[in-house]
A = this chain, B = another copy of it.
């Protein structure tokens, strides 16, 4: 069972797409931030302010990264990185659990 120790958790959730995507922020002592979230089945588009490393902990989804024409299929666990100031699309086929790391350069 993986866990983050000595962190701060923001109590209130972030809610998107009528609750089909929700997350909570985890703040680390070094000033970095991650969110732990859940995506229910559906099609979504997200924008990034910084580099985002999306770790899929469990689920089934396809991702279309910016500038790409091929969807990448992740079943179970996986990871992809999204550049800053871009948009990416997701087709979520089954409830997906994720951890997103925000990288400011």
Residues of A at the B interface (CB closer than 8 Å) are: 1-13, 15, 18-20, 22, 24, 26-27, 36, 38, 40, 57-58, 95, 97, 99
Contacts and interface: CB of A to CB of B under 8 A. Distances in A.
Given A4-B9, A6-B8, A19-B40, 12 more contacts: A1-B12, A6-B6, A7-B8, A9-B36, A11-B36, A12-B58, A13-B57, A13-B97, A19-B38, A19-B95, A22-B38, A24-B36
Contacts of A1: 10-12
Nearest to A4: B9
A97 B23 CA distance: 11
Please give the count of copies of this chain that the complex contains: 2
Contacts of A40: 19-20, 40
